[in-house]
Amino acid sequence: MHEIIESHAKPYHNMMNQHGKKGDNIVHGIREHGNAVRLAPRIFETVKGKLSLGARILQQGGMKRIFKQLFGVTEGENLLKASQCYLSTTTGPIAGLLFLATQRVAFGSERSIKFSSPNSELVRIYYKVSIPLRKIKRVDQSENMKNPSQKYMGVVTADDFEFWFMGFLNYQKAFNCLQKALMSQS
């Protein structure tokens, strides 16, 4: 299985090498993530998705630029961290990027999602969530009892909506960054 990942990762790795250490970090993260998260039907689909996301990040000029394009940036707002993860929904997990900024937490799906419009047309949109830090009541942590390395982060809003994120490349770093951002709001 590892050889399949290597053979499919090689062309992307070569392209990313032109961009220096970031390319190596992305490919390393994909390998690590492929071993930790099994949300896609096949590991190949997971790796393929991560590679295409990594290429998109490089093509669009980095995480800060993607954040700005997806959500706009308010005066004085800075991106603190961006993490690849999944948003849990009633129809299943959605792969995307979680952005932790000085004024909000935001999630943008990796791919567009199909749904039927009121006039029965199929429409494709990107799934986006934006939560101002001042509207976050608390952040909950949870883990899979059978596999404690699978950790989940629940963001609970002031009006009691819950958003659960999972499948982080580095859960603890993302959680600590969010906690730090919330403390700076106090």
pLDDT tens profile 50-76: 656 555 655 565 678 888 888 998 888
Are 12 and 37 members of one domain? yes
Q: Report in angstroms the alpha-carbon separations of 57 from 26, 82, 141, 174, 183.
A: 10, 11, 28, 18, 29
Are 6 and 98 members of one domain? no
Of 59, 77, 97, which closes a domain?
Answer: 59
Are 69 and 98 members of one domain? yes
We report the CATH number of the domain holding residue 170 as 2.30.29.30
Are 129 and 67 members of one domain? yes
Are 159 and 102 members of one domain? yes
Are 89 and 160 members of one domain? yes
Of 26, 43, 59, which closes a domain?
Answer: 59
Please give the DSSP secondary-structure letter assigned to residue 133: G
* Cβ-contact 131, 154 below 8 angstroms: no
Q: Is the pLDDT of residue 44 over 80?
A: no
Sorting pLDDT into bands at 50, 70 and 90, what band is 151? very high
Are 80 and 46 members of one domain? no
Q: Is the pLDDT of residue 30 over 50?
A: no
Look at residues 59, 135, 60, 127 and name the one whose alpha carbon lies nearest to residue 97. Answer: 127
pLDDT tens profile 71-129: 998 888 999 999 999 999 998 999 999 999 999 999 999 888 888 888 989 999 989 99
Q: How many degrees, rounded to 5, is the angle at CA 103 between CA 101 and CA 109?
A: 50
pTM, rounded to two decimals: 0.68
Structural domain for 14, as ranges: 1-59
* Cβ-contact 11, 51 below 8 angstroms: no
Look at residues 33, 75, 72 and name the one whose alpha carbon lies nearest to residue 53. Answer: 33
**pLDDT attached to residue 25:** 47
The per-residue pLDDT of the chain, averaged, comes to: 78
Of 15, 35, 59, which closes a domain?
Answer: 59
